[in-house]
Structure 1
Amino acid sequence: MKYGIVLFPSKCIQDFANSYRKRYDSHYALIPPHITLKYPFEANEGQLKEMTKELHRIAAETPPIPIKVTKFSSFYPTSNIIYLKVEQNDVLKHLHEQLHSGLFAGKPEFAFVPHITIGRDLPGAEYADVYSQVKLQHVHFEETIDRFHLLYQLENGSWTVYDTFVVGGKETV
């Protein structure tokens, strides 16, 4: 089964992102707006207990996660993905590193660029039109996130929460 690890921003940020996603993101119906910490990976039922135990340990050692969303950006020319840029910080970087070492060891598929996708799978002309409009908009959100989530993918391609991990030592196994 496929799993992934994400942060969900506040409803305010999700509503803002969804105002674009419903028009421009082909994954709109599959997963809420999120910041990917670990891209989809395969695991079996037998690995889940050990994985969740390790994720609880990581969460206990991770302080609350500050995020600052500052602008629209794009991965062009690599891909036509348009996103809300989340500023990199030490807490995010360390958490990402933790989720790619030890039990979760493995080189990340992509360089870590914290973001919230708002558009994907757009044809070239539509991408250029949309991005030229959104990149000029002022965006500024700041908040602190106190949990991350282990998701699993359903047969229809949608993602749902398997477990939630509160950071800052608020929960233990």
Structure 2
Amino acid sequence: MKFGIVIFPSKKIQDYANSMRRRYDPHYALIPPHITLKSPFEATEEEIKEIANKIDSIARNFKPVNVNIKKIGSFKPVNNVIYLKVESPEELDSLHNELNSAFDGDQEYNFVPHITIGQKMSDDEHSDVYGSLRMTKVQFDDTADRIHLLYQLDNGSWTVYETFRLGKE
């Protein structure tokens, strides 16, 4: 089964992201707006119980993290993804690094905290959309106090397997 670890931002940020994702992200219906902390990985039902315990102990060692969004960015030329750029406080980088080193640290790309708002576009569409969105003034300041272990359903959508509070209870 495929799993991943994410932060879901506040409803206000999700609503804003979804206003663009509806048009520009074919994964809009498969997963809510999120910040990926650990890219999708395979695990069995037996393995995931141990993984969930590890995530819980990691989460307890981190305070809630600030999520500040101040601009729209793009991963072009690597790929045609448009995103809300999450200013990366040290805690977010540390949380990502801790989770990745605890479970097979291989990752395809460097960690760039973001919330995808558009993907799988042609070069021309990407240029048009990014050209009009990149000058948009964006200002969100939020605090995330939990992380989520998700799993992928047969239809490709993602759902929460377990939620972990950041910080000691």
TM range (shorter): over 0.9
* 1:122 positional shift: 1.1
1:4 matched to which residue of 2? 4
The count of residues paired between Structure 1 and Structure 2 equals 169
Alignment of 1:44-83 (within 5 A): 44-83=44-83
Q: CA deviation at 1:107?
A: 2.3
- Distance in 2 (CA, whole Å) between partners of 1:121 and 1:71 is 20
How far off its partner does 1:169 sit? 1.1
Output one character per residue of 1:84-127: Cα deviation in whole Å (capped at 9) or x when no partner. 0001111101100111113x132222100000000001112111
Residues 1:30 and 2:33 aligned together: no
Measured against aligned partners, the alpha-carbon deviations of 1:26-77 in whole angstroms (never above 9, x if no partner) come to 1000000000000000000111111111111011101111110110000000
Give the alignment of 1:49-128 within 5 angstroms: 49-102=49-102, 104-128=103-127
Length-normalised TM-score, structure 1: 0.96
Gaps of at least 5 residues in structure 2 are: none
Q: How far apart are the structure 1 equivalents of 2:40 and 2:3? A: 5
| Secondary structure, counterpart of 1:63 in structure 2 | coil
Q: Secondary structure at the match of 1:138?
A: coil
Secondary structure of the 2:100 match is coil
**5+ residue gaps, structure 1:** none
CA distance in structure 2 between the aligned counterparts of 1:122 and 1:109, rounded to whole angstroms: 20
Please give the TM-score of this superposition, normalised by the length of structure 2: 0.98
For the residues of structure 2 that align with 1:30 and 1:5, how far apart are their CA atoms? 15
**1: distance between equivalents of 2:5 and 2:32?**
13
CA RMSD of aligned residues (A): 0.7
Q: For residue 54 of structure 2, what is the amino acid of its counterpart?
A: E
What is the alpha-carbon distance in structure 1 between the residues aligned to residue 120 and residue 54 of structure 2? 35
